[in-house]
Amino acid sequence: MAISQKIRNYAAQASWIRRMFEEGINLKKQYGCENVFDFSLGNPNAPPPELFREQLLRIMTASEAGLHGYTPNAGHPEARKAVATTLCEAEGMQLSAEHVVMTCGAGGALNVIFKALLDPGDEVLVPAPYFVEYPFYVDNASGVTKFVATRDDFSLDLEAIGRAITDRTKVVLINSPNNPTGRVYDEKSIRGLGSLLMERSLSSGRDLYLVSDEPYAEIVYDNVKVPSVLSSYRNSIKASSYSKSLSLPGERIGYIAVNPEMKEVEELMGALILCNRILGFVNAPALMQKVISCLQGVKVNVAEYERKRSLLCDGLSSLGYSFRKPEGAFYLFPRSPITDDVEFVRLLQKRRILTVPGTGFGGPGYFRIAYCVDDATIMNAMGGFKEAIDEASNR
């Protein structure tokens, strides 16, 4: 066997999104791009803001010495300061550059955080549905992932989280706005979670950490606010990126922000900076650090995603699909018309509609639609969505 059994098992578990994406490539070659409706991958189709292009050109033509060289492992000082300044206002607390580490996207940030925090066997609690790669990130640091069900409306179930905490629990990982559900956890839930973790930390004598994965925090609708995790709990860490807010997923630029009131915060910052290097990231992309330093407070036109959300939700609702309208991100997580969500995704695939079964996200009985696509893809897929639900109803 050429590869490890662990990775062989991982490949089987993690294949749904990429499998559907790759199937889309094959179908497009066979039927033409306009006849395949690919909702499989959360690859933002909104263009980056024009200011991004302007700043990129300005920086590239300035001929700055060392522009493409190594940066400090924690990132360019000006990038860290720019992020910290923005977070001071957004989080309602005082952070400095010393509480920020620039990373290779939010995925890189989470791997760095877990490497810094976890000893072998430490548990990370994850509300389900969840982003499919979380268990792999945790295992990279020799941790153990435990899933906790959310409520029927995908909100946090604090009682269930409380029951799941053991003497091996080290971290609770949340994702809001959530991929795949689009749920934004409200302030009452976040503050309640902070109180729960504080109580359990004091009673056990073992510090519990709250890690919040927030790459979609700028993609929210209907005046919904994403509550501040950092201001809700002392031992809190935020991981985020500019992949969605600036439509730069391929540039791999993100950050870690640590609550400055955390105990032993200096030791943790040192560990994060070290792990950024020894995991092989070394430092976040140097050029992108320069660019995002000039783009704090800038984001894509969220109204475009809001319009696509309405287009998709109105269409599917008229066909009889059941779902909770997402408050953020660009995913819809409808209930499968039949119990077997994998089978229903296959019915859609017969109509050249590519979605992802909820089973892959720890949400069996649902399926995910990524609506960060052209309007024509949404509108032209409606006939196939109707055929699929009609076929399911006749079984």
* Tens-digit pLDDT profile for residues 213-235: 999 999 999 999 999 999 999 99
Burial of 125 (0-12, 13-18, 19+ CB in 10 A): buried
Nearest to 99 by CA among 247, 287, 265, 249: 265
Sign of the alpha-carbon dihedral angle for 342, 335, 224, 99: negative
Mean pLDDT of 78-87: 97
List b or e across 255-285, with b for residues whose CB sees 16 or more CB atoms inside 10 angstroms: bbbbbbebeebeebbebbbebbeebebebbb
Share of the chain above pLDDT 70, in %: 98
Q: What is the pLDDT of residue 1?
A: 59
Q: Between 150 and 42, whose confidence is greater?
A: 150
Q: Between 60 and 14, whose confidence is greater?
A: 60
Mean pLDDT of the chain: 95
Q: How many CA atoms lie within 13 A of 251 on its CB side?
A: 24
Q: Are 154 and 327 in contact (CB under 8 A)?
A: no
The three-state (H, E, C) secondary structure of 155-215, written as one string: CCCHHHHHHHCCCCEEEEEEECCCCCCCCCCCHHHHHHHHHHHHHHHHHHCCCCEEEEECC
Residue type, 49: P
Model pLDDT for residues 325-367, shown as the tens digit of each residue: 999 999 999 999 999 999 999 999 999 999 999 999 999 999 9
Ordered structural domains, the chain, with CATH: 5-49+301-393 (3.90.1150.10), 66-293 (3.40.640.10)
Task: Give the span between the Cα atoms of 150 and 211, in whole angstroms.
Answer: 17
Task: Give the span between the Cα atoms of 269 and 134, in whole angstroms.
Answer: 22
Which is it for strands 254-258 and 209-213: parallel, antiparallel or unpaired? Answer: unpaired
pTM of the model: 0.95
Confidence band of 9 (pLDDT split at 50, 70, 90) = confident
Model pLDDT for residues 179-223, shown as the tens digit of each residue: 999 999 999 999 999 999 999 999 999 999 999 999 999 999 999
Confidence band of 23 (pLDDT split at 50, 70, 90) = confident
* Helix residue ranges per DSSP H, 254-393: 265-278, 286-293, 302-319, 341-350, 375-393
Mean pLDDT of 102-124: 98
Q: What is the DSSP letter of 62?
A: T
Confidence band of 85 (pLDDT split at 50, 70, 90) = very high
235 token code pair: 């031992």
Mean pLDDT of 91-99: 93
H/E element, 31: helix 15-31
Q: What is the pLDDT of residue 25?
A: 80
Q: What is the pLDDT of residue 14?
A: 64
H/E element, 203: helix 187-204
